[in-house]
Amino acid sequence: SEALFFEMADRLAEDGWRELGYEYINIDDCWSAKQRDAAGRLVPDPERFPRGIKALADYVHARGLKLGIYGDLGTLTCGGYPGTTLDHVKQDAQTFAEWGVDMLKLDGCYSSGEEQAEGYPEMARALNATGRPIVYSCSWPAYQGGLPPKVNYTVLAEVCNLWRNYDDIQDSWDSVLSILDWFSANQDVLQPAAGPGHWNDPDMLIIGNFGLSYEQSRSQMALWTVMAAPLLMSTDLRTISPSAKEILQNRLMIQINQDPLGIQGRRIVKEKSHIEVFLRPLSQAASALVFFSRRTDMPFLYTTSLAKLHFPEDAVYEVQDVYSGKIISGLKTADSFSVVINPSGVVMWYLYPVALPAQPWHVVRQQAP
């Protein structure tokens, strides 16, 4: 009900979330009445949202936050509420803008591939035509299997700001791993599609709920950050534990996630020992590395060097451990080093060059947008 959203807005504003960039508070499915009004407009459920969405948006805006809402391109939403059929696209976009909505997630239940191919771009045009900046999250590729030739990521990047490629996340470690596996297996297709204003969305952070251990929570945060994922929390901020809050409010993590280049990271190593290494290039020739253990037995001592991870020869780095804050100075590319990774856990490094070879490696590897 609206009371929940008022309370969550207060928590975002008062508990340090807003200053870190957690500024959208998003309503999911089932917010509307079961019928449109006489003029064909969507209306909120009168019992659960008696003051209406505009009043909620005003409350959220007064706290320096933004409001997101849910729609579905189809005859019904996934939860069985009125959907947005093609003849309602413009009307619904206008309604959301008038209410002061700042973000729209448009799902795809109860629609055909043809309707989606027409409706998703049409909604983008309709939102732009309102004159109100509204972030546009599309579920389009998820309904088409997430991969070419059915999904054209060039078109998608022109139409949507972020998109769901794959299954809904569940509150379980198995679910997190299945998403990570799919993104890693298809990274050659997915990684180039992401960038400022158009992001792959592996779905929400479930840190602070019931399904993940402490180590697994740290892992999801680090892996989503290295994948340049939009950080959308799905948890109760009134009862969140201090340890979950600390993970979600890690400043260096958020700085890495929000890096202005917006390059999505990749898995670069998959060891027989069930250790995986992910690399994300960052601005100013910095990098983020995530050492991830899929082991379930005991902490693992993993030894490697930056040279083995294809960093440029003769470079020297300052390294900061993103979770512990510990700093390693003067790490040369050729130096061997070891990290201890807990079962289903991560060690995450932020590397900043203090001395670079003549040709900066990121310029060679990937031109910045």
Is residue 129 scored above 80 in pLDDT?
A: yes
What is the token pair recorded at 123?
């909604």
* pLDDT value, residue 359: 57
Q: Would you say 106 and 122 are in contact if contact means Cβ atoms under 8 Å apart?
A: no
Whether residues 71 and 164 share a domain: the answer is yes
Whether residues 8 and 131 share a domain: the answer is yes
The string of pLDDT tens digits covering residues 266-299 is 999 999 999 999 999 999 999 999 999 999 999 9
The enclosing domain of 316 has a CATH number of 2.60.40.1180
Whether residues 141 and 184 share a domain: the answer is yes
* pLDDT value, residue 355: 82
* pLDDT value, residue 367: 41
Whether residues 74 and 165 share a domain: the answer is yes
Q: Please list, in sequence order, all residues whose beta carbon lies within 8 angstroms of the beta carbon of residue 311, skipping any fewer than 6 positions away.
A: 287, 317, 333, 361
The string of pLDDT tens digits covering residues 285-334 is 999 999 999 999 999 999 999 999 999 999 999 999 999 999 999 999 99
Whether residues 113 and 207 share a domain: the answer is yes
Domain edge (last residue) among 231, 258, 285: 258
Taking each helix axis from N to C terminus, what angle separates 2-14 and 52-62, rounded to the nearest 10 degrees? 10
Percent of the chain clearing pLDDT 70 (strictly above): 96
**Domain annotation covers residue 178:** yes
Mean pLDDT, rounded, for 100-122: 98
**Domain annotation covers residue 33:** yes
Q: Please list, in sequence order, all residues whose beta carbon lies within 8 angstroms of the beta carbon of residue 143, skipping any fewer than 6 positions away.
A: 108, 111, 113, 116
168: annotated active-site residue: yes
Percent of the chain clearing pLDDT 90 (strictly above): 96
Domain edge (last residue) among 207, 224, 258: 258
**Domain annotation covers residue 368:** no
The string of pLDDT tens digits covering residues 28-38 is 999 999 999 99
Whether residues 228 and 105 share a domain: the answer is yes
Whether residues 339 and 251 share a domain: the answer is no
- Write down the pTM of the prediction: 0.96
Which range marks the domain in which residue 306 is found?
A: 266-353
Whether residues 65 and 86 share a domain: the answer is yes
Mean pLDDT, rounded, for 245-257: 98
Closest CA to 123 of 72, 154, 89: 89
Residue in 168, 181, 314, 335 annotated catalytic: 168
Whether residues 234 and 294 share a domain: the answer is no
Can you tell me the distance from the alpha carbon of 53 to that of 346, in angstroms, rounded to the nearest whole number? 41
Residue in 92, 102, 107, 259 annotated catalytic: 107
| Residue 241 CA from chain centroid, whole number | 21
**Domain annotation covers residue 111:** yes
The string of pLDDT tens digits covering residues 47-74 is 999 999 999 999 999 999 999 999 999 9
More confident residue, 367 or 180: 180
Mean pLDDT, rounded, for 106-118: 98
Whether residues 54 and 187 share a domain: the answer is yes
* pLDDT value, residue 366: 45
Average pLDDT, the chain: 96
107: annotated active-site residue: yes
**Domain annotation covers residue 215:** yes
* pLDDT value, residue 363: 47
What is the token pair recorded at 107?
């799902």
Whether residues 190 and 294 share a domain: the answer is no
Whether residues 130 and 271 share a domain: the answer is no
Is residue 116 scored above 50 in pLDDT?
A: yes
| Confidence category of residue 171, pLDDT binned at 50, 70, 90 | very high
* pLDDT value, residue 361: 52
Domain edge (last residue) among 203, 235, 258: 258
* pLDDT value, residue 67: 99
| Confidence category of residue 169, pLDDT binned at 50, 70, 90 | very high
Is residue 369 scored above 90 in pLDDT?
A: no
